[in-house]
Amino acid sequence: MTVVDRQGASRSLEVPLGISLNLMELLKAEGFPVEGLCGGMAMCATCHIEVLEGLEKLGAQTEAELNMLDTLPKVYPASRLACQIPLSPALEGVVVRLAETE
Amino acid sequence: MRSAEDGFGGPQSITTDVCIIGAGPVGLFAVFECGLLKLKCHLVDVLPRPGGQLSEIYPKKPIFDIPGYPSILAQELVDNLMVQIAPFKPGFTLGERVEQLKKQPDGRFKIITQKGTEIQAGAVAIAAGLGCFEPRKPDIPDIQIFEGKGLEYMVSDPEKFRDGDVVIAGGGDSALDWAIQLSAVAHSLTLVHRSATFRAAAHSVETARQLESQGRMRIIVNAQLHKLLGNGHLEAVEIRHNDGRIETLQANVCLPLFGLSPKLGPIAHWGFDIQNNQIPVDTEKFQTSVPGIFAIGDINTYPGKLKLILCGFHEAALMAQAAFKYIKPQEHLSFKYTTVTGIQGL
């Protein structure tokens, strides 16, 4: 998958499988400036991303994620919370962009 | 419970052994561990009640990894902790944010809240979790110019907005609830929401739609706050419809209600090291880079850190031992099981 950081630079990532991590945890581990303050409970939106390619591959959103996204001042039609996206082979070819921090 | 608002006549001065900043589960359990060592505790929290995230955000969610409880609701855990620490008679200052933490020349600490409450303590344990929950601000140019001059992020007293021309932005529960309440006192009320659907509770949406049909509220969907206008005080709000149209609404009050976001806040300026919004500690004492200031629970970091309540409880137990040695370096500390000595309250 590919990640575009807040400066606009893109980097491709190997997605580790067979380990139950979510995308927020992967982004943190890879050194991206993603805080993930709430630890993956869809409570803080510090892992807000915009999916540039492959949104349809990422599966349905939970109520908690939709509720959190709905409270944010600025969202995109393809906004997601990275912590709600489990790592899986579906991420092959997906492109995401880190949303602006508040 | 004590707080500066309880009518004791203005800001208070409190003296204690350990001041615990943050009254979430880990802060509460720290009272127990300190209490076993006969250290008196005082807790301060920005939220109006103890429990932290557990009470504020997911009180009805079951937690499955508290030892001895196959499942316990978050609020039940908080209630139980309050019972467990009651014999140690902790003090509470609630609804106040700690602004300053200063080490005194004698090695003790002075803690001052934004309401002026002063706490003198022998040691400090920061158990502040994710930090303070603060209102999210929309991305509007010069927004800070109007803060307190017509722009508010919270409603403390609805009467303040009587006969005002009020614009509320947001589509969640608090936006809907306040739109409904303020429509009864405001001269005009407009609710602006980014999308066409509201995720707030269905009955609130229904009530708002009824008020709209009665002409007591205007609801504008698919639009966002764009600009604030006024000379010294808010006079109008420009909104931008999703199709690009700009509309100007007369308004002397604007309430962007976009929920709360955790921020480290003043903690960042208290003189100890911070890494990525967390406080590095050692795993013997859970002490920060300033001796006598400890950090436990979700706010700290160390190799192998897990943000679990049970890890926070362990950290609280070891922190209490270290705090005792910091406060009373001459005294001998003996470790006793509660099964042997029971609980001796303070």
Task: Give the pLDDT of residue B10.
Answer: 58
Identity of the residue numbered B182: L
CB contact under 8 A, A70 and B277: no
CB contact under 8 A, B262 and A75: no
Same fold? B4-133+261-341, B137-258: yes
Contacts of B131 in chain A (CB under 8 A): 37
CB contact under 8 A, A35 and B276: yes
pLDDT digits (tens, 9 = 90+) for B112-129: 999 999 999 999 999 999
Q: Could you tell me the CA-to-CA distances from B334 to A42, B38, B205 in Å, in that order?
A: 43, 12, 60
DSSP H helices, B108-257, are 173-182, 202-213
Asked if residue A63 has pLDDT above 70, the reply is: yes
Q: E strands along B104-146, which residues?
A: 109-113, 118-126, 132-135
Facing A44 at nearest CB: one of B139, B195, B261: B261
With contact defined as beta carbons under 8 Å apart, do B170 and B258 qualify?
A: yes
Closest approach of A37 to chain B, Cα-based (Å): 6
**CA separation for the pair B306, B105 (Å, rounded):** 35
Instruction: Specify the CATH superfamily of domain B4-133+261-341.
Output: FAD/NAD(P)-binding domain (3.50.50.60)
**CA separation for the pair B344, B281 (Å, rounded):** 30
Rounded average pLDDT over A43-50: 91
Task: Give the pLDDT of residue A50.
Answer: 97
Contacts of A76 in chain B (CB under 8 A): none
Walk along chain B (346 residues) and give the pLDDT tens digit of each residue.
Answer: 444 444 445 567 899 999 999 999 999 999 999 999 999 999 999 888 999 989 887 788 899 999 999 999 999 999 999 999 999 999 999 989 999 999 999 999 999 999 999 999 999 999 999 888 778 888 888 899 999 999 999 887 889 999 999 999 998 888 999 999 999 999 999 999 998 888 888 999 999 999 999 999 999 999 999 999 999 999 999 999 999 999 999 999 999 998 878 788 899 899 999 987 899 999 999 999 999 999 999 999 999 999 899 999 999 999 999 999 999 999 998 888 999 889 999 8
Asked if residue A58 has pLDDT above 80, the reply is: yes
Facing B136 at nearest CB: one of A41, A100, A102: A102
User: What residue segments make up the domains of chain B, in order of their start?
Assistant: 4-133+261-341, 137-258
In chain A, the domains with their CATH numbers are: 2-98 (3.10.20.30)
For the record, the structure tokens of B243 come out as 């199709």
Task: Give the pLDDT of residue A67.
Answer: 85
Q: Could you tell me the CA-to-CA distances from B123 to B3, B7, B134 in Å, in that order?
A: 20, 28, 27
With contact defined as beta carbons under 8 Å apart, do B218 and B190 qualify?
A: yes
**CA separation for the pair B151, B134 (Å, rounded):** 15
CB contact under 8 A, B262 and A45: no
Task: Give the pLDDT of residue B113.
Answer: 95
Report the alpha-carbon angle B14-B18-B23, nearest 5: 90
Task: Give the pLDDT of residue B7.
Answer: 43
CB contact under 8 A, B171 and A70: yes
For the record, the structure tokens of B25 come out as 């589960």
Facing A44 at nearest CB: one of B58, B199, B262: B262
Average pLDDT along chain A: 92
Options 3.50.50.60, 3.30.470.20, 3.40.50.300, 1.10.3720.10; which CATH number does B137-258 get?
3.50.50.60
Asked if residue A102 has pLDDT above 80, the reply is: no
Chain A residues whose C-beta is within 8 A of a chain B C-beta are 35, 37-39, 41, 43-46, 66-68, 70-75, 100, 102
CA nearest to A64 within chain B: B199
Closest approach of A73 to chain B, Cα-based (Å): 5
